[in-house]
Structure 1
Amino acid sequence: MTERKPTALIADDEPLLREVLRRRLAEAWPALQIVAEARNGREAVEQLEALQPDICFLDVHMPGVSGVEAARRIGRRAHLVFVTAFEQYALQAFEHGVLDYLVKPVTPGRLAETVLRLQERMATAQPVVHSDALLQQLAVQLARAAGVAAPGVEPLRWVRATVGGALRMIPVQAIAYLRADTKYTLVAWNDDDGAAVEAVIRLSLKELLAQLDPSQFAQVHRAVVVNLGAVQRVTRGDNETAEIALKGRPERLPVSRSYLHLFKEM
């Protein structure tokens, strides 16, 4: 009996990028058959339904139906690999390896790692485990990386915190920064008199970040999110890091190497 060869489709609105990925897949996984190519998410879903490939390589940002939306429609019918122009630091939704990704330009080494993981999953008949909730998380993370609001997510306007035994409703625009504190988050803001105030709330930084307006708030460290309007100056260090000075506050916030791109005009 002839062994069935694995199959895949490639979806990208750039023909040259589809060709590059097809060529590199042929080198990294000769047995893989590319059964279809698509120019957008709608075509990807149509090809999936017609040809039922094992794997879908989906460009995240395509006109019309995006790669993330296409993945939602594909559901668990195929293993997914997202192809994106964003660096690894922006892809927190992939931290646990449930979904795989490739960063453009796709390098042979990174593609070889992805191919190995796909081969292992298919050889052991591991189920496709991504879920709609995980894809929503991915949509939020990628939207933040692009500096736009995620579809279907209303930016947070108020944060509730207990200060001195009293419940305070803190306008989000008044927050200077947020810092992770185990499962909680420290919220720092200035009150009406300009005094620096802090409170700890029972939400994780990750939960809050998904609800913040990405045009106003930016993650600058794995444990710190800053209100860009509260930044007074950014000083670059000697070891590819930086430090943020805030308006009306004494703290200095760290900027890790992965987030220096936010201040590339320095």
Structure 2
Amino acid sequence: MLRPILEAAVDEGIISSSPYRNISKASLRGDEMLYLDRDKLHALADAAGKDSTLILTAGYMRLRWGELRAVRRKRLTLKREVVIEDQLIEPRGHLKPAKLKTNAARRRLPLPDWLCPLLLQQLEDRAPDDFIFVGGGGAPLRDHWVRRHFKKAVHEVGLPGHFRFHDLRHTCAALLISRASASTSSSGGSVTRARAPSSHTGICSRAIRSASPVPSTTFIATDSRPPPPGMRTLCVTPTTQGSSR
């Protein structure tokens, strides 16, 4: 399904080339990849209750599960960035910090202005070394959070039962490419020019370079919906002490 979509995107000038050009059809995986439009993403966040900011951060920042739960307060910088330097893994039920797989995975991501106030709410009474997103009693998030809480929210909003937390990462890439595509169509510019004003420039660039799937009309709408009420707030410095340099 993705091969003809990407080939059509090449024909329209939305992406420069298709990642399938050197891959035989027989070698392609048959797994379905799911994406959410903005309305469904925010509905999922609402269904997650107190964990809504975690869902929005995953859906708009393209972070992996292990990276997201490893982010500490000191990793939010004065430049409205989040620094990704490590991850938490849970082999055989034992939670432990781990290095990222590659040096390229270490990165600084710009935070959207509307997301900063939501993250600030997570930082109340937190020390610089404390995790931003935690479970009960302030403990680090464990893998069972996905099974108990994320899957419950998935069910409540009517998503397929096999929708994974990792699909939020795919959702981010699809939304960004959808926005770039819409901007290109309306302005007549290139994808590179269309993505420049975005606060997600780095993420969008990576998404396009890695040829993340062009959004399917079944799951993705044009990224034109504004942030929910109350989110158009100027970013306050995320940390008041011990900020990362």
Bigger radius of gyration among the two: 1
Normalized against structure 2, the TM-score is what?
0.23
Greater fraction helix: 2
Greater fraction strand: 1
- Of structures 1 and 2, the one scoring higher in RCO (CA 8 A, sep 6+) is 2
